[in-house]
Structure 1
Amino acid sequence: MSASLLHGFPTHGTPGRGSGIQIFAPAGHSNVDFSPLRHHPRDAAVLDAVSMADLLRNAFVYPPHSIYRDVKFAISGFDGEQDLHGDPRFHFRFQSSRALRPRLDAVDGGVMLRTYHALLVDAVARSSAPMRTPWLLQSGGKDSTSMAIAVAQARPETTCMTYLGGREENEIDSARFVAHQLGLRHEVLVCDPGRAYQRYLALVPRMPLLTADFAMLSYVDMATEIAANGGDGLLDALGSDNYFGMPINWRQRLKALLALRLRLPPGIVDSYLVSHNFRLSYVLGTLQMDTFERCFPGSRFSDAEVDTLLGYPVAESSRRRLLLFRDDIAAASSMEAQRRVAATIVEAATFGKGIFTASALSLLLAYPYRDEQLCEWTFREVPDALLIGPGGVNKVLVRQHIAQHFQQLPYVRNKGSFRFDLCGLARQCFDQVHAMAIQAQPLLPGAAFWLESHRSRLGNKYHASKFYILAIMLPWLLSRLDRPASPWAPRDRGDVL
């Protein structure tokens, strides 16, 4: 793995706290040097309580923090020269209000498409150059289809892999058709929750940092399969939403209206009628969330549950980490613009899952859509009407690029929320996760009780999502302890707040 693309270097931390480590991973680069963590202490004292609350509340750690007290990890929005331990500053580059794009009638549509295609081909070629046997993670959706077109020209020896996580996201027909038409080899991996989890457990000791992204297990499952079949690099079609735009539909507007930060009585949330109904559980969960944090994907633990899991009030300290981003959130002139800010913040998880997995497997990893030339050209030179079209049609330019090669593709029309069999994971791995919760009681004193009291509800994806977060967190935390954890709390109240 190339260590020259990124650097991890020691810096001086906040006065009075000694030295710290900060690792920058600009989104255009993906192969990160985590060597500064190689000899990091394995002790409960170095773990950050607020970051644990972040993971439980939102499934990722708010950047630039990490699961460690003395390690900062930043992707987009943070200047690589700043001291992340001191006074970190976040800036979102892709605010639409700052872009002076041309009008649609001022550009040549044919030239625009040719330029987009050429830039994407160049991005694929540059980012995959160190790879001998690249594999494309091909979901079957628009982004991966457009990238497959570029891959067929730049790296025609690439193999495509599509993951079938569940019936809601079955785009295998589309992905297979695209790959075969382009002359690319295509493979399918069907989700087996138990297999994926055992593969994750095998990688945990080598995973440099922790995130609980809801695609983590599917990513580990695919990457392990690819490495076993001789692949040495992954091409991931993630990362274009921030500068292409993220249209808002009525469901997202409704969720924003329902996010009222209420603290609901446990009797309502835990009633049989609610606890076994996904939609009711999701609505009540949303009522307890912050409006902006509801932009983040998935079902997560409420603040009250987080405080119970950790054994003392800490959820509010996690929520306060949003203050770092308040200026950029306030500068977003619409809900759509706010969603792009949220997507940038959550890159700590969305890119982190790939970066940490690739590091653990010694695989190369590339995100061609985050190529700097492609990003800047799309954001500044493509008219608004080719980014988001009438009626909120997203990625109009990408759709036109695909239409040049394919007339009609069998896309999934109604996207689901899950690319992994969450309920199957809970069914197959409950006892294993529960045993880890018993071991981790000094760190998460409420985890074992939560699992026991919710076992009968894990057929509901809302609760299975929370089980998933614990299943990701517990083994990683335990792997960082050289000895059994002793009763543990923050060093002082100031560390938490």
Structure 2
Amino acid sequence: MTATIEKAATAGAGTPRRRIQIGLSPHAGEPDFSVLADHPGGASALDLVSISDLLRNSFVYPPHTIYKDVKVATTGFDPTQDLHESPRFHFARQSAAAPARPPASAVDAEALVDTYHRLLCEAIARTTGSMCSPWMLQSGGKDSTSMAIALAEARPQTTCITYLGGSEENEVGSARLVARRLGLRHESLVCDPARAYDRYLAMVPRMPLLTADFAVLSYADLATEIAACGGDGVIDALGSDPYFGVPAHWQQRMLGLLALGLRLPPGVFRSSLVGRNFKLCYALGTLQMDAFERFYAGSRFTDAEVDELFGQPIADRSRQRLELFRADIAAAQTLEARRRVSATIVEAAIFGKGMYAASALGLRVVYPYCEPTLCDWVFHQVPDEYLMAPDGTNKVLVRRHIARHFDQLPYVIAKGSFRFDLCGLARQRFDQVLDFARRAQALLPGAPRWLEAHRHRMGNKYFASKFYLLAIVLPWLLSRMKATQVAAGNASDEVKE
């Protein structure tokens, strides 16, 4: 995947300005960030609406990026089109648009699983061919378990590593059982918020672009650990949801009904009854969201809060970016279909966190589930009943692949919500992030005030999630504003260019 540099005359100036496009779709190979190595940075290069995107939704709406002059071609964007002037989006793997798949009665179930296994092994072999010491991020769930089964055949020297982000989602036992039964080496890493944040700050100067996905710090922690242990590549089991399908559970339906785009007075959250109740805060936050944007994960800043952080109206300009995707959203006639579209839009975040961290550490990161041959076969040749059962059970084919080797996995039965100790991060790094906010007041004048006003609420994940967004965004912005002496914990390292 290559980066394209375009030049055009700056209005009224007569001097050329750079316009950069980078292919960022995981379905099209590895991105080339080398074109950003000499990006001048500076506050004037930063896109304020993109910062608003990050605070509202935890990612920048593609094809935009944190830089005004850099666009990215994620899945759904043709990388040959001009993404600066007239971007067009179309999600080609919408289920309703697929040609008629074979009926379940026309295929042999065992042969279908055999073909899936072979194609997954081939995808692994192709994507990891240049890796000497690959490590797989193993959650213990369906996708990583199926991937581990194929890895045991295609790359048996792979080391699996599982992250224990918190008590609400303990994946280690399931992942360890899978790896050991398959003969793969297994390691685990327990979340230490301070260590993870220090590792993130250390890589910030070398991260080419910015996302605020809620697994950014987990990824920074894991990638640094892998590099320190001699790994040269990361295998990530992301990427199969858009073509396998994303079931819509009753919770999503209820949240969609609650998302009314209201603007509630900030005083609603000041009472002790509301301020300490995560579920109540989450519901009230949802009332203030766009229904489609509620598909995106996590608790984020409301539009009113974003305007206060910037000291000017800007949230509406971020929400306006969703209009580029409205035609595909309107064509998605079911809630499940709309979730597929949302999964593709959010691709800029869920894959970006790995791509940016790997680039900063000189690692390769690959996504075998995004290998085109495998994707196309599943999308066109696998009967609907093997993608999603009539009762809403997803990834039936993957489950049958796993069932050849394992009984029901504990992590498949019950899945939690949080992969990082958000409250622990706020408890250990509040004053450091407050210092970042004070240094970044030129961009976000209201950030110090918001932090001070919510200091005593950081035991509630609703507010700790928003703190997390500021903790990710602020040091990266400062590094591009040429700020110096931004300490990583108690270390003397600086975040600088």
Matched, 1:128 2:132: no
2:4 corresponds to = 9
Q: Specify the alignment match of 1:269 in structure 2.
A: 269
1:90 aligned residue: 89
* 2:225 alignment counterpart: 225
Q: Which amino acid aligns with 1:42?
A: G
Q: Tell which deviates more after alignment, 297-306 or 474-483.
A: 474-483
- TM-score normalised by the chain length of structure 2: 0.95
**Which residue is 2:493 aligned to?**
none
On the 8 A contact 1:169/1:412 being kept in 2, the answer is: no
Equivalent position of 1:404 in the other structure: 404
Query: Retained in 1: the 8 A contact 2:27–2:75?
Result: no
The aligned residue for residue 164 of structure 1 is 164
In the aligned structure 1, how far is the partner of 2:352 from the partner of 2:333?
Answer: 28
Match of 2:53 in 1: 54
The 2-side partners of 1:184 and 1:81 are apart by 41
Q: Which residue of 2 aligns with 1:340?
A: 340
Query: Aligned equivalents of 1:92 and 1:435: distance in 2?
Result: 42
Please state how far the C-alpha of 1:412 moved relative to its aligned partner: 5.2
User: Which residue matches 2:374?
Assistant: 374
**Map 1:13-412 → 2, pairs under 5 A:** 16=11, 18-29=17-28, 31-99=30-98, 100-411=100-411
Q: 1:3 aligns to what? A: none
* Local SS of the residue matching 2:438: helix
Task: Give yes or no for contact 2:141–2:409 (8 Å, CA) kept in 1.
Answer: no
Indicate conservation of the 8 Å contact 1:329/1:341, yes or no.
Answer: yes
Aligned residues of 1:191 and 1:421 also touching (Cα < 8 A): yes
Give the Cα–Cα distance (whole angstroms) in 2 for the partners of residues 13 and 430 of structure 1.
43
The amino acid of 2:302's aligned partner reads S
**Partner residue in 2 for 1:494:** none
CA shift for structure 1 position 411? 2.0
Q: What is the DSSP-based 3-state SS (H/G/I as helix, E as strand, rest coil) of the residue aligned with 1:73?
A: strand
Q: Check the 8 A contact 2:23/2:32 in 1, yes or no.
A: no
What is the alpha-carbon distance in structure 1 between the residues aligned to residue 106 and residue 46 of structure 2?
A: 55
Question: Offset at 1:483?
Answer: 5.5
Moved more, 280-289 or 326-335: 326-335
Once the two structures are TM-superposed, the CA of residue 406 in structure 1 deviates from its matched residue by 1.0
How far the C-alpha of 1:410 sits from its partner, in A, is 2.1
Matched-pair contact (CA < 8 Å) for 2:142–2:412: no
CA distance in 2, matches of 1:107, 1:422: 47
Distance 2:270 2:307 in 1: 17
How much has 1:407 moved relative to structure 2?
2.2
Mapped partners of 1:389, 1:465: distance in 2: 34
Between the aligned partners of 2:28 and 2:276, the Cα distance in structure 1 is 43
- Decide whether the 8 Å contact of 2:21 with 2:72 is kept in 1: yes
Aligned mates of 2:56, 2:82 — CA distance in 1: 26
* Residue matched to 2:495: none
- CA distance in 1 between counterparts of 2:162 and 2:313 reads 42
Cα deviation for residue 15 of structure 1 reads: 7.4
The equivalent residue for 1:471 is 471
Deviation at 1:273, TM superposition (A): 1.1
Seen in structure 2, the aligned counterparts of structure 1 residues 380 and 199 have a Cα distance that, compared at 3 Å, is: same
Distance 2:53 2:169 in 1: 27
Gaps of 5+ in 2: 485-497
CA RMSD, Structure 1 to Structure 2 (Å): 1.3
CA-to-aligned-CA distance 1:115-149 (integer Å, 9 cap, x gap): 00000000011100010000010000000000000
Contact 1:31 1:359 in 2 (8 A): no
Q: Any conservation in 1 of the 2:163–2:188 contact (CA below 8 Å)?
A: yes
- Which amino acid in 2 is paired with 1:314? I
How far apart are the structure 2 equivalents of 1:145 and 1:212?
A: 27
Contact 1:60 1:349 in 2 (8 A): yes
| Distance in 2 of aligned mates of 1:304 and 1:453 | 15
CA apart distance, 1:37: 1.1
Amino acid at match of 2:434: H
Shift of 1:463: 0.5
Give secondary structure in 2 for the equivalent of 1:230. coil
Deviation at 1:270, TM superposition (A): 2.5
Q: CA deviation at 1:14?
A: 9.1
Shift of 1:98: 1.0
Residue 410 of structure 2 aligns to a residue whose secondary structure is coil
What's the offset of the Cα at 1:414?
3.1
